[in-house]
Structure 1
Amino acid sequence: MEASLLAQVRTGRGKGYRHRLAAQGKIPAVVYGKAIGNIPVEVELRALKNILAGEGGRNTLINLKITGEGQARQDKVLIKELQYDSLRGELIHADFQQVSLTEKITTTVPVELEGEPVGVKQGGILQQQMRELEISCLPADIPEAVTMDVSGLEIGDTVHVADLPVPPGVKVLNDPEEVVATVVAPAVEKVPGEEEAGEEKEASPEAGEE
């Protein structure tokens, strides 16, 4: 997935500057890469949120157009880090990494399970231990997610990293034996008083004994 985003070089800093940006619906950000170094910019919060809410999410390949302070360039970037306000949960800062379409990068993508396992229909419980997969690939080949059909799993079956279907050109960096999900048997609930009754029966003398 690709998207476009406008960025303007920023010259201010500090809490007062961030408040002025917030009043304009913007947040500070930094763009960095081997070819451009570090460029402090400001971007529109709503536009960035729209990208994050899209199909590609954080792994969306962004055409970032940078203007201001003698800059007039466009670069392919990925969202590298997001900072949120600890109290309000609002997005307050972003880091963008310049990428080359011909150089592989390392990133993470969601692991999604689809379908209802046979074992769940029999009363089992599907437990997903892994929700993100670390991969290496070209920026344009980053999948939206790695999806696994688990409808055929029975109680006791386990999905490992090696079982996940990944698109061509994508290399998985996790341990192949790492567990992704398991269908476990339901816990057996004890009837209240059953254990006590059993203990009393075991402790009682046999018939005919004194």
Structure 2
Amino acid sequence: MQALKLFAELREDSGKGVARKLRRDGKIPAVLYGRGEVTISLVLNSDELSHLLAGGKATTNILKLQIGKDTKTSGKDVLIREIQRHPFREYIYHVDFQEIALDETLTVKVPVILVGESKGITMGGNLAFNRRELEVSCLPDSIPESITIDISDMDIGDSVHVESLEAPEGVTILHDVNFTILTIVGAAAEEEEEEEAIEDEESTEPEVISKGKEEEEGQED
């Protein structure tokens, strides 16, 4: 797996005001969590980061983070630990990186990708997706870009559990083997669940009101 390269500059100042100014200038504040207790404040170019993320591989691939203008150094091997996005405007306002050692096993989250068209969904069923990411353990150069599940033969009532997945070589899925990743459910099943939820809410409301009245009557006495 070839590491993707990203350039960064050291950031000396901190605070909300500094971060806002950086974003106005087309830059993104970031932090590198080094091995041990070391943390380094950084600045990224917004366009370079967006271009890197557009390929869809940066969140699980090893990145070669080049800090400063000295291109003679090989850079640090890192993974993206967290990307913070604005809740409404969708732009990135902070990134956390984690420095890694290429010979040490680590735990990462890998996206689940579905392929095919389920027979059950074609017949009116719905997809109940319990987990869109799975935690795996492996060496950094063995991190899969995704875990693919073919749902073509799935009918209403069928489920996919961890035990039915074939993990890539050198990769261990850390969830319980009986963990349900997804299920094809019928429309009636969803309606029943919604009705039960509504009934539960309605059944609890009179108790709260009654309790309040009893407390008021007790206070009047």
2:55 maps to amino acid:
G
Conservation of the 8 A alpha-carbon contact between 1:67 and 1:73: no
Q: How does 1:119-198 map to 2 (within 5 A)?
A: 119-187=120-188
Task: Go from structure 1 to structure 2 and tell me whether the alpha carbon gap of 1:88 and 1:153 turns closer, same or farther (over 3 Å shift).
Answer: closer
Go from structure 1 to structure 2 and tell me whether the alpha carbon gap of 1:168 and 1:86 turns closer, same or farther (over 3 Å shift): same
Q: Match of 2:29, as an amino acid? A: P
Question: How many aligned residue pairs are there?
Answer: 188
Between structures 1 and 2, the one with greater helix share: 2
Whether the 8 Å contact between 2:34 and 2:40 is mirrored in structure 1 is no
SS of 1:48's partner is helix
Partner of 1:75: 76
Matched, 1:25 2:29: no
How big is each residue's C-alpha offset from its partner over 1:13-41, in whole Å with a ceiling of 9 and x where there is no partner? 22332233223311111112226821111
Structure 2: how far apart are the matches of 1:101 and 1:60? 12
Larger radius of gyration: 1
**Is the contact made by 1:83 and 1:91 (CA closer than 8 Å) also made in structure 2?**
yes
Structure 2 contact 137–172 (Cα < 8 Å) conserved? yes
Query: RMSD between aligned alpha carbons?
Result: 2.5
Relative to the length of structure 1, the TM-score reads 0.79
Distance in 2, matches of 1:12 and 1:154, equals 57
Q: In the alignment, is the contact (CA less than 8 A) between 1:28 and 1:40 conserved in 2?
A: yes
Aligned residue for 1:119, secondary structure, equals helix
CA distance in 2: counterparts of 1:152 and 1:86, whole angstroms: 37
Q: Calculate percent identity across the aligned residue pairs.
A: 41
TM score, norm. by length of structure 2: 0.76
Q: Work out whether residues 58 and 80 of structure 2, in 8 Å CA contact, stay in contact via their aligned partners in 1.
A: no
Q: How big is each residue's C-alpha offset from its partner over 1:63-104, in whole Å with a ceiling of 9 and x where there is no partner? A: 0011279xx661010011122334534211111100111111
Conservation of the 8 A alpha-carbon contact between 1:63 and 1:75: yes
Amino acid across the alignment from 1:116: E
> Counterparts of 1:167 and 1:38 in 2: how far apart (Å)?
33
CA distance in 2, matches of 1:8, 1:36: 20
- Structure with greater proportional strand content: 1
- 1-side partners of 2:86 and 2:131: how far apart? 27
**Structure 1 CA distance for aligned equivalents of residues 127 and 74 of structure 2:** 49
Unaligned runs of 5+ in 2: 192-221
CA distance in 1, matches of 2:37, 2:148: 36
Aligned twin of 2:194: none
Structure 2 counterparts to residues 50-65 of structure 1, below 5 A: 50-65=51-66
In structure 1, C-alpha distance between the alignment counterparts of 2:128 and 2:35, rounded to whole Å: 42
Instruction: State the partner residue of 1:3.
Output: 4
Q: 1:47 maps to which residue?
A: 48
Unaligned runs of 5+ in 1: 190-210
